[in-house]
Homo-oligomer: A and B are copies of this chain.
Amino acid sequence: MFSSRPAVHPVEAPPMTEAAENPPRLRMKDIQGMPGTCGGLALRLLQFAFAASALCVMATTNDFTSVTAFCYLVAAVSLQCLWSLSLAIVDVYALLVMRCLRNRRIACFFTLGDGITSTFTFAGACSAAGITVLIGNDLGLCSENHCGSFETATAMAFLSWFAVSISFMLNFWLLAAR
Shortest CB-to-CB span from A113 to chain B, Å, is: 16
Q: Is A176 an interface residue, CB under 8 A from the partner?
A: yes
When distances are taken between beta carbons in the complex, the residues of chain B under 8 Å from A66 are 138
Shortest CB-to-CB span from A126 to chain B, Å, is: 4
Q: Could you tell me if B68 and A138 are in contact, using CB atoms closer than 8 angstroms? A: yes
Q: Is A127 an interface residue, CB under 8 A from the partner?
A: yes
A176-B172, A177-B177 known; A68+B137 contact, CB < 8 A: yes
Interchain CA distance A67-B138 in the complex, whole Å: 6
Q: Is A133 an interface residue, CB under 8 A from the partner?
A: yes
Q: Is A89 an interface residue, CB under 8 A from the partner?
A: no
When distances are taken between beta carbons in the complex, the residues of chain B under 8 Å from A119 are 122
Q: Is A123 an interface residue, CB under 8 A from the partner?
A: yes
Q: Is A128 an interface residue, CB under 8 A from the partner?
A: yes
Chain A residues close to B by CB (< 8 Å): 66-69, 72, 119, 122-124, 126-131, 133-134, 137-138, 169, 172-173, 175-177
User: What would be 28 A-B contacts, judged by CB atoms less than 8 Å apart?
Assistant: A66-B138, A67-B134, A67-B138, A68-B130, A68-B133, A68-B134, A68-B137, A68-B138, A69-B130, A119-B122, A122-B122, A122-B123, A122-B126, A126-B126, A126-B127, A126-B130, A127-B127, A127-B129, A128-B130, A130-B131, A131-B131, A131-B134, A134-B134, A172-B172, A172-B173, A175-B176, A176-B177, A177-B177
